[in-house]
A = this chain, B = another copy of it.
Amino acid sequence: MKIVMDGFGGDNSPTEVVKASVMAVNEIKDLNIIITGKQAEIAKLLKEYDYNGNKIEIVNAETVISCEDENPAMQIKRKPDSSLVVAFDVLKQNEDVVALISAGSTGAVLTGGFLKIGRLKGISRPALAPTLPTKFDNKGVLLLDCGANADCKPINLVHFAIMGSIYYSTVYGVEKPKVALLNVGVEDAKGKELTKEAFAMLKNAPINFVGNMEAREILSGDYDVIVADGFSGNIALKTVEGTALFVLNGLKTAIKSSFWAKFGAMFMLKSFKKLKNKLDYKQYGGSLFLGCKKNIFKAHGDSKAESFMSVIRQAVNISKNNINGKIEEVLQTLEIEEN
């Protein structure tokens, strides 16, 4: 199994990408990794990490698409020699390369997925699908779409639901994942035109649809898959991030403002760390761009080697379990039923 890593995406590239790649090929047998980016720099790092094997290959790419670039999404067309575009080319041109991982600009990764790889047969729109932490267990909740499609039609949400359900049941072994629709209230008739129409269609989709849910319950653990249009999903995702940071920073400030609090905090370092780990959704891997012909992962921009490793494990897992094949199978049945 081969995957390709964008060697120069994210805040800690290329160092942490190369480090993770070495860790990964050592941990997972049958895994080969292609790293794209400046050949000499990557080769030097491989040497630093004492890697002499033949399971990591470098494909040279001279430039980088940066989040600071004006309109990073457009750079996909403008920078054919960038580490990300070269990675997409590697993914597209090699049948044995099954997944791409990049910690670069989300917009650029999504645009690359749309333009270079394309949709799965039968899927109206692919969706960006991160997993968020929840209260009760270590499975978390899959929230999609988180921003690939700002404007959605009801059928898009149905496809998100089917894809999310198959993903969740395959990855976590949950037989009938609870799929809910993100809405402004729990009653059936709630919401905007889009959610009202989607609700009716979701009731008849081949999923365990449990109805509407409110944003207050996203992290409650009561749901396995939450479906939203890309605009609303993005708002929810980023509000979770911003609020968690706000509360943790507030806690820090409150502690720092008092001698006794600082004293007490010394006894709580382990507990604070536990909490921080709980909130760190990088442990759940990256955001999968679900519904593309091949598996594309957006890793968090500030990923370190351990986080990249989570994404690599996730990529291997999904590819081995052939989730895309399962999705196409279900959609084919639907088409037959519709005729």
A residues in contact (CB < 8 Å) with B: 71, 107, 135, 147, 150-151, 182, 184-185, 187, 191-193, 195, 214-220, 228, 230-232, 234-251, 254-255, 257-258, 260-261, 263-268, 270-272, 274-275, 278-279
In Å, the complex CA distance between A220 and B254 comes to: 17
Q: Once the chains bind, are B232 and A215 in contact (CB under 8 Å)?
A: no
Contact A242–B264 (Cβ < 8 Å): no
> Is the CB–CB distance between B239 and A216 below 8 Å?
yes
Q: Can you give 24 contacting A-B residue pairs, CB < 8 Å?
A: A147-B184, A150-B192, A182-B235, A215-B242, A216-B239, A218-B243, A219-B242, A228-B235, A231-B232, A235-B239, A236-B236, A236-B239, A243-B244, A250-B275, A254-B271, A254-B272, A254-B274, A257-B271, A260-B268, A261-B267, A263-B267, A264-B266, A264-B268, A265-B268
Question: A150-B191, A192-B231, A260-B270 known; 8 other A-B pairs, CB under 8 Å?
Answer: A182-B235, A217-B242, A231-B232, A236-B239, A250-B279, A251-B251, A261-B267, A268-B268
Interface of A is mostly: helix
In the bound complex, residues from chain B placing their C-beta under 8 Å from that of A242 are 215-220
Q: Could you tell me the distance in whole angstroms from the C-beta of A243 to the nearest C-beta in chain B?
A: 4
Q: Are A238 and B254 in contact (CB under 8 A)?
A: no
| Residues in B neighbouring A236, C-beta threshold 8 A | 215, 235-236, 239
CA distance A311 to B179 in the complex (A): 38
**Chain B nearest Cβ from A152, distance in angstroms:** 9
Of A230, A245, A266, chain B has the most CB atoms within 10 Å of the CB of A245
Give the residues in chain B near A272, CB-CB below 8 Å.
Answer: 254
Q: Which residues of B contact A182 (CB under 8 A)?
A: 235
CB proximity of A3 to chain B, nearest CB, Å: 28
Q: Report B-chain residues with C-beta under 8 Å of the C-beta of A255.
A: 268, 271
